Amino acid sequence: MPDLLVSLYSKEVETLINKAEAPSGVIIRAPLAPELHIVRDWVLAQFSENWASEVMVAFSRQPVSCLIAVNQTGLQGFACYDVTARGFFGPTGVAPEARGKGIGVALLAACLQSMKALGHAYAFIGDAGPVDFYVRSAGAIVIPASDKGIYEGMLRTPTKT
């Protein structure tokens, strides 16, 4: 999967930041340190150990480099930045039953706004899965690099035999 580049000064991102809105009843906010175990366990249950590890790194930052989407029933989604590498957006994910309502785009918009405020001019999306999601929502372009990416050679949990 390719790495993507997003200019935080593009018209697309300006529009995204100005227009993206979480659906009614959903709040996008930074999580509090005491919520770490809840966010980590949720990400582990919904997604993967790798993403749960990245969430823990996000919580080690001050301010926490992660945003969550919450409604009255609890967590609906999360998004991190500046975790695996400076300037990286992700990982991000929305609960399967909450997808398609604008939560993913609202999390992306809020993170890109935070990254811009911190002084980034560009955001990278490493090893992007849903490339079209980023192309359409933030004007992302594929970085034409055939070289090894940052995840090359990463240790992975061995499969038990």
Return the range that interacts with ligand COA (CB under 6 A); candidates 5-13, 58-66, 122-130, 139-147: 122-130
Judged by beta carbon, residue 36 or residue 131, the one nearer ligand COA is 131
In the complex with ligand COA, the residue whose CB is nearer, 6 or 62, is 6
Q: Quick one: which segment of 32-40, 57-65, 102-110, 145-153 binds ligand COA (CB under 6 A)?
A: 102-110
> Using H for helix, E for strand and C for coil, what is the string for the chain?
CCCEEEECCCHHHHHHHHHCCCCCCCEEECCCHHHHHHHHHHHHHHCCHHHHHHHHHHHCCCCCCEEEEEECCEEEEEEEECCCCCCEEEEEEECHHHCCCCHHHHHHHHHHHHHHHCCCCEEEECCCCCHHHHHHHHCCEECCCCCCCCCCCCCCCCCCC
Based on the shown chain and the rule CB under 6 A, indicate whether residue 13 belongs to the binding site for ligand COA: no
Q: Is 83 in the site for ligand COA (CB under 6 A)?
A: no
**Residues interacting with ligand COA, by CB under 6 A?**
90-94, 99-105, 125, 128-130, 132-133, 137
